[in-house]
């Protein structure tokens, strides 16, 4: 007679359909086990990003194929609880952080299984709450500026929504690289942008940025729409517009003689390790607007969806 093994369970927030914040439900889910090349992480904190509520609302259902129920949250910081076969870079007890694979369950839970190659050791100078706020936004900024934008010292970059999650990392990374940074923010965030290192700050509510920022080498667009369309006027011929929300104005790019590229962030433990080094060297900080318990995941997503978040929102899950 076969002996039934007891199924280990965990606390988690799951969604069973696409929709509003009300589709997020706290309850129990099966505790995952790490496969080959994976580790099991005891989640201490989970970052909240716009992609969380956009996936919940069904914006990506054609691009990211998921079955229900699913656990959202793709920014994690925690402690390695178990190690799967073939993993050599991490051991039980290591503190790690990373951007998880969108095609898998996320970190709105007590435990998550993750590919080892998607992770890096947590910055020593950050606690888990601050570390969880880093991966997706910082990797998006890094990949936009360096992997796609090829930004180098002496260039000028215009960064929209410079006080936001991606934007506030982009300002700091561009300054670290030696670029001149022009930031668009509201008046309330002007001093914050300057403290991050912005050389010039434009209050987008009072000034049309395309009239104040001219002949820039690179534009980082995290807004889209009219902002993207107007941004071409700020670029010099041969410049580049990089969007994290998709390109909807390619004909305008050709008309202005510039390049336009869309970036979809990818997990990359090696790049994240470089980001962690910058954090521990005091070259990169993260600003956190709100920390909420896991049970308030719906509230966290509502805050994110409202926009105008300065820095990041984080869910505290465990110790």
User: What confidence score (pLDDT) does residue 63 get?
Assistant: 76
Among candidates 187, 240, 183, 190, which has minimal Cα distance to 212?
183
The secondary structure of residue 118, as a DSSP letter, is G
- In the three-class reduction of DSSP (H, G, I as helix; E, B as strand; rest coil), residue 128 is classed as helix
What are the two backbone dihedrals, phi and then psi, of residue 96, each rounded to the nearest 5 degrees? Answer: -130, 160
Among candidates 28, 128, 22, 18, which has minimal Cα distance to 75?
128
Q: What are the chain's domains?
A: 9-134+286-316 (3.90.180.10), 137-262 (3.40.50.720)
User: What confidence score (pLDDT) does residue 1 get?
Assistant: 47
Low-confidence ranges of the chain (pLDDT < 50): 1
Question: Cα(111)–Cα(82) distance, rounded to whole angstroms?
Answer: 11
What would the two tokens of residue 110 be?
């007590």
Question: Cα(227)–Cα(40) distance, rounded to whole angstroms?
Answer: 41
Question: Cα(61)–Cα(272) distance, rounded to whole angstroms?
Answer: 27
What would the two tokens of residue 67 be?
């079955």
Bond into 69 cis (ω within 30): yes
User: What confidence score (pLDDT) does residue 2 get?
Assistant: 53
CB 99 within 8 A of CB 118: yes
Only one residue has tokens 């505790």, namely 31
Burial 243-272 (b: 16+ CB within 10 A, else e): bbbebebeebbeebebebebbebebbbebb
User: What confidence score (pLDDT) does residue 293 get?
Assistant: 97
H-type alpha helices, the chain: 50-56, 128-132, 135-142, 165-177, 190-196, 209-212, 225-231, 250-256, 269-280, 297-306
User: What confidence score (pLDDT) does residue 248 get?
Assistant: 87
Within the chain, strands assigned E span 9-15, 24-30, 38-48, 75-83, 95-99, 111-115, 119-121, 156-159, 180-185, 200-203, 216-221, 235-243, 259-262, 288-293, 312-316
User: Quick one: which H or E segment has residue 282?
Assistant: none
In angstroms, the Cα distances linking 203 to 84, 109, 162, 191 are: 50, 39, 11, 11
CB 15 within 8 A of CB 53: no
């Amino acid at each position: 007679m076969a002996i039934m093994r007891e199924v280990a369970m965990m606390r988690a927030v799951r969604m069973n359909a696409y929709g509003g914040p009300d589709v997020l439900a706290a309850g129990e889910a099966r505790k995952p086990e790490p496969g080959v090349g994976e580790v099991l992480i005891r989640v201490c904190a989970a970052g909240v990003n716009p992609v969380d509520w956009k996936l919940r609302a069904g914006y990506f259902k054609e691009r990211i194929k998921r079955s229900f129920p699913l656990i959202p949250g793709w920014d994690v910081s925690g402690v390695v609880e178990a190690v799967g076969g073939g993993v050599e870079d991490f051991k039980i007890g290591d503190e790690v952080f990373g951007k998880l694979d969108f095609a898998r369950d996320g970190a709105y839970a007590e435990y998550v299984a993750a590919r080892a190659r998607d992770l890096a050791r947590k910055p020593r100078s950050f606690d888990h709450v601050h570390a969880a706020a880093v991966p997706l936004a910082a990797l998006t900024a890094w990949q936009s500026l360096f992997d796609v934008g090829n930004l180098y010292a002496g260039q000028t970059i215009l960064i929209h929504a410079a006080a936001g999650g991606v934007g506030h990392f982009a300002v700091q990374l561009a300054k670290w690289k030696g670029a001149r940074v022009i930031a668009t923010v509201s008046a309330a965030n002007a001093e914050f942008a300057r403290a991050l290192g912005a050389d010039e700050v434009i209050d987008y509510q009072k000034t049309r940025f395309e009239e104040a920022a001219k002949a820039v080498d690179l534009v980082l667009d995290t807004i889209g729409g009219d902002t993207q369309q107007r941004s071409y006027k700020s670029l010099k011929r041969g410049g580049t517009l990089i969007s994290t929300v998709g390109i909807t104005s390619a004909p305008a790019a050709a008309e202005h003689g510039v390049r336009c590229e869309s970036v979809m962030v990818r997990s990359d433990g090696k790049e994240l390790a470089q980001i962690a080094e910058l954090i521990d060297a005091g070259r990169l900080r993260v600003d956190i607007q709100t920390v909420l318990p896991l049970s308030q995941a719906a509230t966290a997503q509502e805050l994110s969806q409202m926009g105008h978040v300065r820095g990041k929102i984080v869910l505290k899950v465990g110790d």
